Amino acid sequence: MDKTLSSTASTKTSLEAIRNGEAGLNEKRKNMLARVPCSNDWATFEKDTISIKDIAYLSAATHHEFALLRGKTRDIIVHGVERHCYFNEELLDLLQTKKLRLIAHTHPDYGKIKPSTEDREFLKHIDQKSSIIISYITGAEFEFGSNSFEEF
């Protein structure tokens, strides 16, 4: 079997087990979640230590959206609520001044991943061309842009 398909199936299976409470997070991800245990919490991590898949697993465990931001020297995880991530003024300013970039955020999408109008508007608001959505149901990733007619 193709490694990519196997890996995708494995990710989907493990996300489902975590969502259903049949499995738990690994130690690395438990430690991440311990630093952002509640909605609207955010924490800084060493740069390039958080992956897009990591935030999908955090979402699977909590049923909340998460976002991954990255700057020149740090990664930031934002713990959202069930269907949104909110950014405080400090984070918004860092995004708008290009000191941080929105790398990805999670969605509870089963089939095709669809960025919301708010997702696209947010990219316009921070003047960022594209970002990634990862489904915490399937593990699939989708790169989207601020313009609904332009996909990557």
Q: What was the pLDDT predicted at 46?
A: 97
The reported pLDDT for the residue numbered 1 is 39
* Per-residue pLDDT in tens (0 to 9) along the chain, 152 residues: 344 445 678 899 999 999 999 999 999 999 999 999 999 999 999 999 999 999 999 999 999 999 999 999 999 999 999 989 999 999 999 999 999 999 999 999 988 899 999 999 999 999 999 999 999 999 999 999 987 766 55
| Largest separation between any pair of C-alpha atoms in the chain | 47
Distance CA(34)–CA(152), nearest Å, equals 34
Give the span between the Cα atoms of 119 and 85, in whole angstroms. Answer: 10
Q: Which of 35, 47, 42 is nearest to 74 (CA)?
A: 47
Strand partners, 74: 46
Q: What is the DSSP string of 56-95?
A: HHHHHHHSS-EEEEEESSEEEEEE--SS-----HHHHHHH
pLDDT confidence of residue 110: 87
| Contact assessment for residue 128 and residue 95, using Cβ atoms and an 8 Å cutoff | yes
Question: In 3D, which of 57, 10, 12 has the Cα closest to residue 32?
Answer: 57
